[in-house]
């Protein structure tokens, strides 16, 4: 199973290298371990995260693509769908099959036809349009719903931090 996972990861890396999606750079941390990747995601335009460059990690299971990778932000992130420790909570990364809580359909969850590119584009989209009803970060969800101006200021601080700029000019 490791061999087929490695072949799939190598093929996806080649595809991402030849035709990277706009605003995303991704690949293995080193070419001796294709099961651990880093990705840089550009904050989506016209969002509070606009202009930021956010570093993430992806850890792939040995049965990939039958099971999804685990993804987390290395860069500090304050977002309704990102746990305070950086873990990403998005349907596409949830194990295949029916949701035991009945919140997601099986079509929204992981399936082997998904790809690393699709994951990264979904996360970029999630940055632009959070789902505060599925809050991984309760404080961020509450601020997103109740005080958008304060949420935007917090996001802008993270953008500056992601670029190694001082908090305020």
Q: Which residues are catalytic?
A: 89
Q: What is the distance between the alpha carbons of residues 159 and 165, in angstroms, rounded to a whole number? A: 9
Any residues with CB less than 8 A from the CB of 47 and at least 6 apart, and which? 127, 128, 155
Order of strands, sheet of 53-59, starting from the edge strand that comes earlier in the sequence: 24-30, 33-42, 53-59, 70-73
Q: Give the bridge partners for 42, in sequence order.
A: 53
The long-range contacts involving 101-104, CB below 8 angstroms and separated by at least 24 positions, are 103/134
Instruction: Specify the 3-state DSSP secondary structure of 60.
Output: coil
């Amino acid at each position: 199973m490791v061999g087929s996972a490695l072949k799939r990861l190598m093929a996806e890396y080649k595809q991402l290298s030849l035709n990277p999606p706009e605003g995303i750079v991704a690949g293995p941390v080193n070419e001796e371990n294709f099961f651990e990747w880093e990705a840089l995601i550009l904050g989506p335009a016209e969002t509070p995260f606009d202009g930021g460059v956010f570093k993430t990690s992806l850890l792939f299971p040995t049965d990939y693509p039958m099971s999804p990778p685990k993804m987390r932000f290395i860069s500090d992130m304050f977002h309704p769908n990102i746990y305070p420790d950086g873990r990403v909570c998005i349907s596409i990364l949830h194990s295949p099959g029916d949701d035991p809580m009945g919140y997601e359909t099986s079509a929204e969850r992981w399936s082997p036809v998904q790809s690393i590119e699709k994951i990264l584009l979904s996360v970029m989209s999630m940055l632009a349009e959070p789902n505060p009803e599925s809050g991984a970060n309760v404080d961020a969800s509450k601020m997103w719903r109740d005080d958008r101006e304060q949420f935007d200021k917090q996001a802008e601080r993270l953008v500056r931090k992601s670029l190694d700029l001082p908090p305020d000019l």
